[in-house]
Structure 1
Amino acid sequence: MSETTFPRRDSDGRVIRLTELLAWVAVGLLIGFVVLLLIDGLSSLLRLGRFGQLSGWLAGILPVWLFVEEFRAWHSVAGRVGAALVSGVLAVVLGFAAALAVSIALPPLGSGAIGAAISAFLYGALWYTGIRWLADRGVPR
């Protein structure tokens, strides 16, 4: 286990605590959203488009990167593809539903960011609990 990285990981590269996984998701979403705000603001200043029209879903890039690394780290667990698919479908459906619900009041930047946040947090929680449940069953790959 490495104490110098965040989130901390075990010797196989797996994030060791759900709180750290979700904290990293929050940091990744925040960084992604700030970068989107800057890009959208700059493009609107250059009259390349109206502010708020970029897709807020792009804020989820860093959390997706973390989830890909997590998926790779659990290569020895049978059913990891199923856990990822079930978690992903549920997370994306609920994220899209939330984004659609707020799209009346918010531009794509805001509604997409809300959808990305809900999807990322939900996926993280479902994946973390689901993959450990599968690993505890001891079914080798």
Structure 2
Amino acid sequence: MTEQRSGFPRRDAEGRILTLGDLLGIGLAGWVVGVLALALFDWAFALIGTAEFGRTNGWLAMILPAWLFWDDFRAWDFGAARVVGALLAAALGVVAGLVVAGLAGGLAPLFTGGLAALAFTLVYAVVWFPSVHWLARRTG
């Protein structure tokens, strides 16, 4: 695997992210940007009196991490490894997110959903990366 270009995240010639640290770093950065954008919009609507602060669904913070995960998914060759890895990671990520949302149920939706989106991002990355690499070695 040769690197495609320098920068962050580092990718191989096929466009796949090279390290779990890069995937986690970009995923978490995307989550932070998403939460900050949601908080800003929520605050603006609260300021003009159209809504109460904290009522925005925090799960929307998943948009940038999901885009990253989709991009890495597309970079892998078509086959069982990427599909099984993605389904496993998504299932465990959703379960983790729902558990966290349930535990943080007393908070405003912005914070509950934001924490759930964080759990999903972490679990998806930690499950997807090693599973797709392991399955790709086994099948291909």
By the TM > 0.5 criterion, same fold?
A: yes
User: Quick one: which of 87, 94, 100 aligns to 2:96?
Assistant: 94
**Any idea what the Cα deviations from partners look like across 1:100-124, whole Å, max 9, x if unmatched?**
11121x1000010000001011001
Whichever residue aligns with residue 57 of structure 2, its letter is: S
Match of 1:79, SS state, is helix
Task: Indicate the residue corresponding to 2:39 in structure 1.
Answer: 37
Q: How many residues align?
A: 138
Residues 34-81 of structure 1 show CA distances to partners (whole Å, capped at 9, x for unaligned) of 101100000111111100000111111110000000110112443311
- 2:84 aligned residue: 82
| SS of structure 1 residue aligned to 2:12 | coil
User: Which residue identity lines up with residue 135 of structure 1 in the other structure?
Assistant: A
What value does the CA root-mean-square deviation take over the aligned residues?
A: 1.2
After TM superposition, what 4+ stretches of structure 1 lie above 3 angstroms from structure 2? none
Structure 2 residues not aligned, in runs of 5+: none
1:95 is paired with a residue whose SS is helix
Aligned to 2:124: 123
Is the 1:77–1:134 contact (alpha carbons within 8 Å) kept by the matching residues of 2?
no
Distance 2:87 2:78 in 1: 17
Aligned with 1:46 (options 41, 45, 48): 48
Q: Is the 8 A contact 2:85 2:128 kept in 1?
A: yes
Structure 1: unaligned runs, 5 residues or longer? none
2:115 maps to 114
- Compute the TM-score of the two structures, normalised by the length of structure 1: 0.93
Contact 2:4–2:15 (Cα < 8 Å) also in 1 = no
Question: C-alpha separation between the residues in 1 aligned to 2:126 and 2:28?
Answer: 13
Instruction: Report what 2:18 is aligned to.
Output: 16
| In structure 2, C-alpha distance between the alignment counterparts of 1:5 and 1:27, rounded to whole Å | 15
